[in-house]
């Protein structure tokens, strides 16, 4: 496996692992209480999207210059910072859903559809 491809796979899986860890209530009586259809469905879609992105960009991993072009590093130097900022904000949503509950409407039954409990 190409070294850059391996790093991308590891980073994608690490991000998903951190996102799941943000939802788990580590000190609660039911640590997986917030790992319901709402969060689990998102994680599943995010995992599928990551796999699709990696598979569809396999050709971009042949060379460093092609990879930089694929990720937009040549066209917009701020793009990678925006992606990192959006990923951090994404994790904040999971922290809120799992712990803070500053946006209680995220737990509304109409959004949940069904619960695993």
User: pLDDT tens-digit profile of 63-106?
Assistant: 777 777 766 667 777 777 888 899 899 899 888 888 888 877 76
Q: Which long-range contacts (CB under 8 A, 24 or more apart) does 16-22 make?
A: 16/43, 16/46, 16/47, 16/50, 18/91, 19/43, 19/46, 19/90, 19/91, 19/94, 22/91, 22/94, 22/95, 22/98, 22/99
Of residues 90, 63, 85, the one with CA closest to residue 74: 63
* Strands of the chain, DSSP E: none
Domain positions in the chain are 3-112
User: pLDDT tens-digit profile of 44-69?
Assistant: 998 998 888 888 877 777 777 777 77
Give the pTM. Answer: 0.72
Q: Which long-range contacts (CB under 8 A, 24 or more apart) does 43-48 make?
A: 43/16, 43/19, 46/16, 46/19, 47/16
């Amino acid at each position: 496996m190409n070294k850059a491809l391996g790093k991308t796979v590891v980073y994608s899986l690490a991000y998903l692992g951190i996102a799941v860890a943000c939802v788990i209530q580590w000190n609660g009586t039911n640590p997986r209480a917030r790992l319901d259809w709402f969060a689990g469905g998102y994680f599943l879609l995010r995992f599928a999207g990551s796999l699709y992105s990696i598979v569809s960009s396999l050709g971009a991993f042949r060379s460093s210059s092609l990879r930089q072009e694929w990720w937009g590093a040549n066209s917009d130097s701020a793009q990678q910072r925006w992606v990192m900022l959006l990923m951090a904000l994404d994790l904040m949503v999971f922290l809120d859903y799992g712990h803070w509950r500053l946006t209680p409407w995220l737990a509304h039954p109409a959004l949940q559809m069904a619960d695993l409990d």
